[in-house]
Homo-oligomer: A and B are copies of this chain.
């Protein structure tokens, strides 16, 4: 196991000074870290070394990986637009195992339960460690201290930043595409495995040493639009199927039926209305998942009743956002990740439904990004502490079970609201201190629970805005006490001293570390 030296960062969290043998900076505060240097350069290549007819087809993924120079210690990346329906990542490591390659780093934009087979490659040395979200079994494996390298968790924007800045160097990017031409132009808009945007693979295409596009729907040149540009692509491979469509569109698009969650959603929406946030030209991002989604629907109702129009809605798009677009309740959808078939249809049909990327929306090392222009972001969390610090990656038992997604990035919205149940399975959500600190409380403005709404004392403007309303305002301390009256004081997780993963902030600094569980 890794035992790097630790240092206390600006939030008082002990973080490693080296991650997988590379020095890192501790978190310094919001906007405090000033990056130096220049963005990572691609190797300068020549058209003379690529087929002049644009035909980069290679018969198999194995041959493409061999031609790309697959070798021990390389970093291989994949994207997660197919979510739990991805069929490609496991194949890459099956091939690597077959070729006897060792110590690879897998840098997915996120991993899902379907990637559980990769545990055997972590066991036998084909894969050294994972840099990227680890949902489910892989996260549990990492938590148990079984991965040789440190896991590195980044937000979607942080992943773009790390690749752009040369902090995460990708040797081979394998980009699964629902449609592509032989030149490598690709998109996710049509084909049997259409998944909408391919934005999570953008940085990989732009900065990796070698880029392989793998598709199950080869179209004649030009494949338009080319969200992935063939000019970045080395090899194109055609396979029978790159993803399982039914699993691409997962449970994220279901409105919650739980009366408790619907109550949370309604309260959050009411808060926004009372605080004057739902007004002409307003913008919002409602994350996927039952509660957030329901809030989107409340917003739609409010807009319709108020006769006002939202300028844009950000987010994973779904049928509810598409309805708002088509009813004129929002002028635009800025879509980073497409969650259902209606979203895909709309992306194809409506020029105001626009694909975004982690570069445009989230990259903190850019000249601004879209996230900070959003008026209201509705997000989730596993825990929140009395300073409004939030956790989204570990459960209160210390297990790493979720990725950060765009969560850290979305916190830069003008008003961040977290509708949270006061407890989950008798485990209180409001803690003395979060198990893992994924974001500083100064960015989290409002906690909406079924037993009251807490406004961050830093946001006097919001406190003033809802003064005199009938909203059940409470302090986080009161909410915590209430939860503990019902559930009892929560036990602290049993954590070892060893660090198994590090959590990066949006600027590449280390905001917290995750300790081994159950030793």
Contacts and interface: CB of A to CB of B under 8 A. Distances in A.
B38 A373 contact: no
A86 B220 CA distance: 38
A39 B39 CA distance: 9
A315 to B, nearest CB: 14
Contacts of A124: none
Interface in A225-239: 225-226, 229-234
A161 to B, nearest CB: 9
B42 A38 contact: yes
A503 to B, nearest CB: 19
A147 B44 CA distance: 32
A352 B226 CA distance: 12
Interface stretch (A48-56, A193-201, A252-260): A48-56
Contacts of A56: 367-368
A30 B48 CA distance: 8
Nearest to A36: B44
A45 B366 contact: yes
Contacts of A368: 47, 50-52, 54, 56, 183, 230-231
A229 B373 contact: no
A23 interface: no
Nearest to A349: B351
Given A33-B46, A351-B224, A354-B224, A53 B373 contact: yes
Interface string A19-36: 000000000001111111
B47 A369 contact: yes
A360 B205 CA distance: 14
Which of A233, A281, A367 lies at the interface centre, i.e. has the most chain B CB atoms within 10 A of its CB? A367
B231 A360 contact: yes
Interface residues of A, number: 65
Nearest to A157: B47
Interface string A343-372: 000000001101000011001111111101
Contact of A165 (B44, B164, B281): B44
A307 interface: no
A375 to B, nearest CB: 10
Contacts of A360: 226, 229-231
A339 interface: no
A43 interface: yes
A312 B226 CA distance: 15
Contacts of A43: 37-39
A171 interface: no
A35 B45 contact: yes
Contacts of A47: 31, 363-369, 372, 412
A350 to B, nearest CB: 11
A311 interface: yes
B31 A48 contact: yes
18 contacts: A31-B48, A35-B44, A35-B46, A37-B43, A38-B44, A39-B43, A40-B41, A46-B364, A47-B364, A47-B372, A54-B372, A183-B368, A221-B312, A224-B352, A230-B368, A231-B363, A231-B369, A232-B366
Interface of A: 30-48, 50-54, 56, 164-165, 183-184, 211, 220-222, 224-226, 229-234, 281, 311-312, 332, 334, 351-352, 354, 359-360, 363-370, 372-373, 412, 414, 507
